[in-house]
Amino acid sequence: MSNLRIIPRLDIKGPNLIKGIRLEGLRVMGDPQEHAIRYYEAGADELIYMDIVASLYGRNNLSDIIQKAARDVFIPITVGGGIRSVDDARHILRSGADKVAINTAAIARPELISEVAQRFGSQAMVLSIEAKQIAPGKWEAYTDNGRERTGLDVLDWVRRGVELGAGEILLTAVDREGTRQGFDLDLLRQVSSAVPVPVIASGGMGTLAHFVEAAEQGLADAIAMADVLHYKRMTVPEIRAAALAAHLPVRKL
């Protein structure tokens, strides 16, 4: 089994790191660069940056932030929000990102998944899914920070995305995001079981036990967290120590 990755998630609005609840009610947390360096130095395995207002501008505006981060942070960086074309992906990758996460544009034109995967490799094409539960055991994919319905069943969509070339899934449970109530383990387990590519769990971490549950019960390959780190409720070394104590295959530092 490959290493279980610990991934701080940085949601960005303009120049600021922000945090919301269920992707709404945003609060400014500070300078993203300061947080990124702190998480890198603490032993994070990767970073995820999401431009959460990209849909307003029609493009991703993180290139300056990513260029700055790439000078000081030497772990893989995934960037999402507003990436609508191969050219957009190329621009972000040239800015220093290792992977692009695409949601809205992939739903609008699924061929984009194949185009990005063929041009840059499937490992660089992350399918970002914002999932909301609509019935027991059933979830719908949303766009625009969980505001716009798509009518797509999450499990159907994730399978199709991987068939088209997505090499990784960033799965955000919108109902849990920012609540600190734990991950949607049923959603996570079903998606992880449905596809042969790594799945990153995002949305809901509030305790160290939640991390362990996402790996053991949700079968996650990586776990993204924001609230617990930004508010200093716990640290990356504490998360890693708890994972090691639970005999999870995290990287030993």
Q: How far apart are CA 178 and CA 84, in angstroms?
A: 26
CA dihedral for 60, 63, 64, 69, sign (positive or negative): positive
Token digits of residue 138: 């059933």
| Per annotation, catalytic residue among 46, 88, 98, 130 | 130
Give the closest residue to 82 by CA, choosing from 108, 111, 103, 107. Answer: 103
Q: How far apart are CA 246 and CA 188, in angstroms?
A: 19
Give the closest residue to 166 by CA, choosing from 212, 208, 198, 206. Answer: 198
Residues 6+ apart with CB under 8 A from 235: 42, 229
For residue 11, indicate whether it is catalytic.
yes
Q: DSSP states of 55-115 as a string?
A: HHHTS---HHHHHHHHHH--S-EEEESS--SHHHHHHHHHHT-SEEEESHHHHH-THHHHH
| Per annotation, catalytic residue among 11, 51, 88, 221 | 11
Alpha-helix runs per DSSP H in the chain: 32-41, 54-57, 63-72, 86-95, 104-108, 111-120, 154-164, 185-194, 208-216, 227-230, 236-245
For residue 98, indicate whether it is catalytic.
no
CA angle 216–177–161, rounded 5-degree value:
70
Using CA atoms, how far residue 202 sits from 215, 229, 237, in Å, is 12, 13, 19
Catalytically annotated residues: 11, 130
